[in-house]
Amino acid sequence: MTLTEVKSQLEEKMVEVLIALEKQLNRTLPVPLLELKKLGRCAGRANSNTNTIQMNPDFCLNGHWSQMRDVTLPHEVAHIVADFIYVNDYRNKGANLENRPHGVLWRHVMGLLGLPPERCHNMDTTEVSHTRPKPFKYVCECSTHMVGAIKHGRAQRGEYRSWKCRKCGGQLRFIGGNCE
């Protein structure tokens, strides 16, 4: 399956889920923008402020297609719908109801979809890229160390008084960046 096909089928499923919820809630719901984005070990993410759902294509393409389509996507749609209900029915009317990401309203929407209100997935992440590249090269007396952008930035700003190798105790020296 190509990424274009993945996105198309996820969009179809999203519309299907929204139509089912609209019938049950007897109201029109916003249709979120669906994006495919590498999210590390995170399968999906919803942002109600931008009305966007991000789905991790690595899970879709590495043997978890049915769970991503049938569980993760509806989970993320439930976040968008719960936030929409909260803003329109409760917050704007001064009701004393807290809307937490996996709170009462989200669990209610998951129940309407006939899905268990589970917070995290249990998919195998070994086939999913979840480490960021470490493009900055440092050396000590015994070896070369590849360092990520955050640690490199801290070292360059002098936030480490003495940055030493754990193995040999030698001072780490920067010798180059973007060594991929």
Per the prediction, the chain carries an average pLDDT of: 85
Question: Do residues 65 and 106 share a domain?
Answer: yes
Task: Judge whether 85 lies within some domain.
Answer: yes
- Residues 8, 78, single domain; the answer is yes
DSSP tally for the chain: helices H, then strands E? 6, 6
**Whole domain around residue 104: which residue ranges?**
3-112
Looking at residue 180, its pLDDT comes to 41
Quick one: 101 and 144 in the same domain? no
User: How many angstroms separate the CA atoms of 162 and 180, rounded?
Assistant: 26
DSSP annotation string for 15-45:
HHHHHHHHHHHTS-----EEEE---TT--EE
One domain for residues 71 and 30: yes
91 located within any domain: yes
pLDDT digits (tens, 9 = 90+) for 44-58: 999 988 999 999 998
Q: Are 35 and 84 contained in the same domain?
A: yes
Query: Which amino acid would we find at residue 139?
Result: V
Residues 102 and 154 in one domain: no
Q: What type of residue sits at position 41?
A: R
Q: In this structure, is residue 119 part of a structural domain?
A: no
